[in-house]
Amino acid sequence: MIVIDSVDKTYHLKGNDVEALKKVSLTIEDGTIYGVIGYSGAGKSTLVRCINLLEVPDSGSITVNGTQLTWHDSEGNFHRKTNHEMKKVRRGIGMIFQHFNLLDRSTVFDNVAYPLKYNGLKKEEIEARVTELLELVDLSDKRNVYPSQLSGGQKQRVAIARALANNPKVLLSDEATSALDPEATASILNLLKELNKKLGLTIIIITHEMSVIKSICHRVAVMEKGRVVEEGDVYSIFAEPKQEITKKFIASQSSLAKVSTLVNDPLVNNPAEGGRLIKLTFLKNSVGESLISLVSQKFNVRLNIVLANVEMIQDSPLGEIIVVIKGEEKNIDAAIAHFAEQKVKVTELEAN
């Protein structure tokens, strides 16, 4: 388990202080794929680099698998593990980056062998372990080639094998798919998911793309200006985002994002013709779309579907349907109340 409690970090630049982290607290359970999302400068990298003390906070406590890396004593004084003490801790925490950070003059084999050599393993042990790691990332046939001969996705696989060399419990991933095309991104995300299952690896993924969060994360923290502004399991966050920034991130990858233009399109939403534009959100525990025709009959209203979309999040469906509802005002109100009773969330969309 990783526990981050009230962590602050300010960078002091010439005549200008940057508060990168402000009272950040998070708990990450073992075996979780945990996403951290936010715009550029939100403090994501700073936060994640605190987990292996590549970045040292100014205050707050950080505990990784029971070992305190930073803490306050009973008088409130701040303490940290020394770099020497951190050597052992860092072995238990692997890290991968956007630009892979491979040694260009070394073969794939030597890149993966590097941390093992550093730890003084024997030649035969290194040989066996690298072979095993390359199998794990499906790159056995590339062991003697150089990074320049690999695709971006393959380079990231080498970086993952290297990060896992010492059998870490935790893998930190800082924008590891940001430099990859969609296909390579999907394959790296699948690999991470597989490693999480197979090895029970805890993975912390920094990204600015909600699609990455949606496809593999169990939980997510949304960061804005050095703070965690929203946190929760991925399904709940998608079903009921609370902060504006979270809604924006979700809209950025949803095919329902078009709705903001639709609301203002007189062909869809013409106040002169009456009717209201509403969004219905069907959660995993609510009844399906047949409800639409039932409601239409029961309350004598007309429901025209404008857009519909079903997302699979953590293997559960999250359905969203945008409809124009027309009829007598009191019937519309009754229909909307009925949807809510059936655990369907109703959001009225208004023209700007």
Ligand X SMILES: Nc1ncnc2c1ncn2[C@@H]1O[C@H](COP(=O)(O)OP(=O)(O)OP(=O)(O)O)[C@@H](O)[C@H]1O
Residues that bind ligand X (CB under 6 A): 11, 13, 18, 20, 38, 40-46, 208
Q: Which partner from the list Mg ion, ligand X, none does 18 bind, CB cut-off 5 to 8 Å by kind?
A: ligand X
Q: Of the two residues 1 and 18, which places its CB atom closer to ligand X in the complex?
A: 18
Which option in Mg ion, ligand X, none does residue 72 bind, with CB closer than 5 to 8 A by kind?
none
Q: Contact region for Mg ion (CB under 5 A) — 43-51, 99-107, 179-187, 328-336? A: 43-51
- Of 34 and 235, the one with the shorter C-beta distance to Mg ion is 34
Q: Which is nearer to ligand X, 142 or 219 (CB)?
A: 219
- Residue 309 burial (CB < 10 Å; 0-12/13-18/19+)? middle
Q: How far is the CB of 47 from ligand X (least distance, A)?
A: 7
**Closer residue to ligand X in complex, CB, 7/306:** 7
- Looking at 45, 111, 177, 185, which residue binds Mg ion (CB under 5 A)? 45
**CB of 11 or CB of 118, closer to ligand X:** 11
Stretch of 41-49, 118-126, 241-249, 276-284 lying at the interface with Mg ion (CB under 5 A): 41-49
| 246 near Mg ion (CB under 5 A) | no
Which residue, among 250, 266, 269, has the nearest Cα to 309 in the 3D structure? 250
- The rounded distance, in Å, linking the Cα atoms of 127 and 114 is 11
* Residue pair 253/309 in contact by the 8 Å Cβ criterion: no
Q: How far is the CB of 10 from ligand X (least distance, A)?
A: 9
Q: Which is nearer to ligand X, 211 or 314 (CB)?
A: 211
Looking at the Cβ atoms of 9 and 142, the one nearer to ligand X is 9
Cβ 252 to ligand X, closest distance in Å? 15
Residue 180 contacts which entry, Mg ion, ligand X, none (Cβ below 5-8 A, type-dependent): none
Task: Kindly indicate which of the ranges 39-47, 70-78, 284-292, 340-348 contains the residues binding Mg ion, using the contact rule CB under 5 A.
Answer: 39-47
From Mg ion, ligand X, none, interface partner of 52 (C-beta below 5 to 8 A by class): none
Beta carbon of residue 55, minimum distance to ligand X (angstroms, whole number): 8
Instruction: Write down the least CB distance from residue 151 to ligand X, Å.
Output: 23
Amino acid at 125: E
Q: State the SS3 of the chain.
A: CEEEEEEEEEEEECCEEEEEEEEEEEEECCCCEEEEECCCCCCHHHHHHHCCCCCCCCEEEEEECCEEEEEECCCCCEEECCHHHHHHHHHCEEEEECCCCCCCCCCHHHHHHHHHHHCCCCHHHHHHHHHHHHHHCCCHHHCCCCHHHCCHHHHHHHHHHHHCCCCCCEEEEECCCCCCCHHHHHHHHHHHHHHHHHHCCEEEEEECCHHHHHHHCCEEEEEECCEEEEEEEHHHHHHCCCCHHHHHHHHHCCHHHHHHHHCCCCCCCCHHHCCEEEEEEECCCCCCCHHHHHHHHHHCCEEEEEEEEEEEECCEEEEEEEEEEECCHHHHHHHHHHHHHCCEEEEEECCC
Q: Site for Mg ion (CB under 5 A): how many residues?
A: 1
335 binds, among Mg ion, ligand X, none (CB under 5 to 8 A by kind): none
Q: Which does 337 bind (CB under 5 to 8 A by kind): ligand X, Mg ion, none?
A: none
Interacting residues toward Mg ion by CB under 5 A: 45
